[in-house]
Amino acid sequence: MTRPAPITAEERALRPAPWVRTRLRAAPLTVLLGAALAFVAVLLAAALPRAVDRGADQALRSFLHDQGPGPTSLFASATGRGGPMTPQDLDSVRAALAARTGGAFRIAPSGSVHGAVGVKPRALANPGLARPEGIDPQLSLTHLPEAAAHTTLVAGRWPDGGEPGGPLPVALSRSASETLRAPLGTVLESAPGISGAQRAEVVGLYDAADPEDVYWTDLPCLTKACETRTRDTLPKVFWQTSAVVGADGLDRIAPWGEGIEYFWRLPVDTGVLRADLLPGVSREIAAFVTGRTASELSLAVERPDLRIRSRLPELFAQAEARQQGVAPLAAIGPAGVAGVAAVVFCLAAALTGDRREAELRLLSARGGSRRSLVRRLLAEGALTVLPAAALATWLALRLLPAPRPAASLTAAAAVTLLALLAFPVRAFVLLSAPRPPSPRRRLIGELLVLAATAAAVVEVRRRGVVTSAGLDPLLVAAPLLLALSGALLLARLQPALVGALAGAAGRRPGLVGFLGLARAARGSGRGRPSVLPLIALLLAVTTGGFGATVLGSVDAARLQVARQAVGGDAQIAAPLGDVLTPELIRAASELPGVGTSVAAWVEEDAFVFGTDRGSPQVTVVVVDPVAYAALARTVGRGGFDPALLAAGGPGEPVPALFSSDVVSQAGDRAYRLRVRGEELQVRAAAVVDGTPALSGGGAGTLVLPADPTVALTPRVSSPNRWFGTGALDADRLRQVVRAGTPAAAAEHVLVRTSADAVAKLGADPLQHSAGRLFWAAVAGAAGFALLAVLLTLMRAAPDRAALLARLRTMGLRPRQGVALILAESLPQALVAAVGGGLVAAAAVALLGPAVDLSALVGAQVPAGLRFTARPVLTQALGLAALVAAAVLAEAAISGRRQISTELRAGDQR
């Protein structure tokens, strides 16, 4: 076989250069900028879904962790009526339960516990035991097979079964032994019961290795003696504890406890749960509790009385509701970034098309088909976009590890496809047969956008932002559709508005302002201004303004909830039956930042007689009317006119504020108020919705003026509550309480502040994730909007340079050239800023009533956004300032160079 002759240098020189390599070498800066744009856009597209997933998982795990190990466990139990169980039976049931896990969820490595406990505690009759108020202490018996692994034996031995007929050996915690005064060797005598009197001997004392270990959760009083109160009208304190029984004494628990209950607690490992797999986990847990798995386990362990319960299905439903409440609001920011980025790619394609239109038409005239040219342009873009997109996707996956890459890869692929096809599609349109402008086609498109916007707004107002079906794209897109409609309307109005300004400038001396405004009105010689930069700016301003309003409303609602829970910005409450000293009240009132100071006497043991609703129990609040009215206005509950509580003459009923659940309307009718055996005639001066002195609702209240006529009890003159508003320092307030209260009582005085309550409400990772996502989206949208303005300036640069070169030959000074560029470019930015602010305000007005902020606030609040101008103005003016700075920089840097280049090259147009 003959080998082909090698290619000579002359033949290699005559061969045409490869298209793609030639084009990439011809414009390296353009190639780098295109790759950088694709890299940033794909990085954001790939990172945002992973950030959302990580935030959702972290919020779910934090929410379940805060519930504690008890509610997040599977708890199985069986009664003694199903027959006795041996220690081996307890272990086998636990193994059977654990064997059915490991699918959608798994058991936590620590915290699992099983055993048996007596149904009822027994009162101990030993005369030497501790009895704080004369009530016998009570003892429960518990068998824990793994107790030795979680305790340290400090005295004696671990119990066994004991001698037949003798006392049952038990082990007691050292703390309980000291509290009850039951040392090692004590024989505890129980009070007679159904099974007769029982005896137990303390043969061992132990300390818990870690009293805070989840192992001891829900195990009654095994690490110490618990202070318990009787359920009498006047409750009395007594001690209650539990003792550990050995395996050989398991069958003796039932006689002591008048029955026995076997239990198994399996804590679910919430640290590995994922938000996207939560429905499957919920179904599997539900099968454990009441479904097929529960039936199969009862048959497998031969215990028909086996019952499994858990709060996990309820907690999962709450977690899903929280996620659904936050998801639409959190998605608005990324949707705005996506819209602005799409506009930027369209502008970049338009700029490249303008620069290469002559080249493409020349190639087409020399025989190149549209298909072949588009294929070559795709090859150019592939070598530029695909490596940058692949690097950005890999970087997002590495920097934000998450278990589910599908959404991230899909978003990255969509942005890559847009970056790859933007310019080829633009070139295909340029090479197509020219079509005359069609105002009707544009009008139809705009009407379709307006119709979609109206439909989205109506759906949001009808259904609300949060739906049970999940994330609805139409509802998420509602603010963006409003921004798009506003941009289209401004695009119609902008030429007329700027033209009017040009006319006004034309009547003044100087041509720079008139010429710049005239060019802005007619689009710098391109027929009409491009609507794409306006859309980008309005999308950025509207997204930022609407999102900032949402976060501002969340902060305001959270503060309102905290104030209603505290009763103001601070509250000091004396222990039950005690009062606050005048020195303490005066010191608290004089703290820096205190606005309103209210001392109150609050009594819950009061009754009202003669109402239409019987004789309800009420809470009486005695306060100064003027200060209390200011407090009620600040808190937003129980507001009234203080003049209504002006006392009448001697012998007349005392005016009072009644809550609506006590009486339905105000009037002069007299009622009898009884407080601690004393009675007073009162009348309903007004009906209010509650009082700041009590958090929550549902409790009847009466507010009386602090007046000499209110002679209920001498304690009225010594308040037991203090409420304050203003910017108080919680630490200084606690120092005042410690200084103004006896040392023994200081730790029992309750100090609460709204700042602490707000911090607690805002500690949810779900809210932090939504806030971080929003601000990241605002930054991304602002960056892309700024890039859209720069691309618009670059697109208009050749025509502007030609004009400036002509004017330079007629005596235009360089400073005037910069002023001309500013006059031409800034009107669009200012119109976009004003229009974006108006559209954001319209979005809040139209969509705000349907927005439920409860998931973001951390408490149930009424639906609706609170419009404030500051967040919207901050976003609009901030973006306008960025755009103005970019225009000024471009004018100062590029203007003179373009003029000089144009003058050297000559006018080729």
Strands annotated E in 105-161: 113-118, 122-123, 138-143, 151-156
Query: pLDDT for 588-621, tens place per residue?
Result: 888 888 888 888 888 887 888 888 777 888 888 8
pLDDT of residue 6: 60
- Among 174-178, 353-357, 690-694, the range scoring the smallest mean pLDDT is 353-357
Q: For residues 341 and 46, what is the distance between their CA atoms, to the nearest angstrom?
A: 14
Decide if pLDDT at 751 tops 60.
Answer: yes
- The stretch 9-29 carries a mean pLDDT of 62
Is the dihedral angle over the CA atoms 851, 853, 855, 861 positive or is it negative? negative
HSE-up (13 A, CA, CB side) for residue 547: 33
pLDDT band at residue 896 using 50, 70 and 90 as cut-offs: low
Six token digits for residue 488: 């289209």
Query: Which pLDDT band holds residue 786 (cuts at 50, 70, 90)?
Result: confident
Give pLDDT tens digits for 246-302. 888 888 888 888 889 999 999 999 888 888 888 888 888 888 888 888 888 888 888
As a whole number of Å, the CA-based R_g of the chain is 39
59-80 pLDDT, tens digit per residue, is 888 888 888 888 899 999 898 7
Q: Which of 442-451, 505-514, 716-725 has the lowest mean pLDDT?
A: 505-514
The DSSP letter of residue 251 is: G
Q: Which residues of 389-409 are buried (b: 16+ CB within 10 A; e: fewer)?
A: beebbeebbeebebeebebbb
Residue 492 CB contacts under 8 Å (≥ 6 apart), including other chains: none
Q: Please give the DSSP secondary-structure letter assigned to residue 17.
A: P
Most confident region among 18-32, 385-399, 804-818 by mean pLDDT: 385-399
What tokens appear for 568 in the block?
Answer: 């103001």
Cα separations (Å) of 798 from 409, 810, 902? 39, 19, 9
Q: Which two tokens stand for residue 71?
A: 């509610």
Residue 206 has pLDDT above 90, yes or no: yes
pLDDT at residue 533 is higher than 90:
no
Q: Is the pLDDT of residue 527 over 50?
A: no
- Structural contact between residues 656 and 684, judged by C-beta atoms closer than 8 angstroms: yes
> What integer pLDDT is reported at residue 513 of this predicted model?
72
Question: How confident is the model over 83-130, as pLDDT tens digits?
Answer: 888 889 898 999 988 888 877 888 888 888 999 999 889 899 888 899
Q: How far apart are alpha carbons 865 and 155 in whole angstroms?
A: 64
Over the stretch 165-198, which tens digit does the pLDDT of each residue have?
789 999 999 999 999 999 998 999 888 877 778 8
pLDDT band for 392, please (50, 70, 90 cuts). Answer: very high
pLDDT of 534 strictly over 60: yes
Assess whether pLDDT exceeds 90 at residue 243. Answer: yes
In this predicted structure, what is the pLDDT of residue 901? 57
- 205 pLDDT exceeds 90? yes
- Considering 160-174, 638-652, 810-824, the range whose residues carry the highest mean pLDDT is 160-174
Lowest mean pLDDT among 267-276, 323-332, 482-491: 323-332
Q: For 479-491, b where at least 16 C-beta lie within 10 A, e where not — what string?
A: bbbbbbbbbbbbb
DSSP symbols for 471-483:
--HHHHTHHHHHH
Mean pLDDT of 853-859: 81
pLDDT of residue 357: 78
pLDDT number for residue 908: 47
pLDDT surpasses 80 at 801:
no
Task: Give the per-residue pLDDT at 228.
Answer: 86
What's the chain's average pLDDT?
Answer: 82
**DSSP letter (8 states) at residue 727:** S
Where helices occur in 400-511 by DSSP H, the ranges are 406-430, 439-463, 473-476, 478-506
SS3 content of the chain, % helix, strand, coil (to 5): 55, 15, 30
What number of other Cβ atoms are within 10 A of residue 179's Cβ?
A: 18
What pLDDT, on a 0 to 100 scale, did the predictor assign at position 207? Answer: 92
d(CA 904, CA 899): 9
Does 413 score more than 90 pLDDT? yes
Residue, of 471 and 58, whose pLDDT is higher:
58
The pLDDT value recorded for residue 904 is 55
pTM for this one?
Answer: 0.79
For the segment 10-23, the average pLDDT, to the nearest whole number, is: 57
Contacts of 431 (CB under 8 A, 6+ apart): 360, 361, 364, 370, 373
Which amino acid does the sequence have at 306? L
Q: Is the pLDDT assigned to residue 737 strictly greater than 90?
A: no
10 Å CB burial of residue 872 (0-12, 13-18, 19+) is buried
Q: How many whole angstroms separate alpha carbon 197 and alpha carbon 324?
A: 58
pLDDT of residue 14 exceeding 50: no
Q: Which pLDDT score is estimated for 784?
A: 86
Indicate if the pLDDT at residue 464 is higher than 50.
yes
Tokens describing residue 548: 């900032």
Q: What is the dihedral of CA 289, 290, 291, 293, to 10 degrees?
A: 40
Question: What digits encode the pLDDT tens for the residues 755-777?
Answer: 888 888 888 788 888 888 888 88
Mean pLDDT of 858-887: 80
| pLDDT category of residue 20 using cuts at 50, 70 and 90 | low
CA geometry: angle 315, 318, 320, nearest 5 deg = 110
Q: Say if CB 673 and CB 680 are below 8 A apart.
A: yes
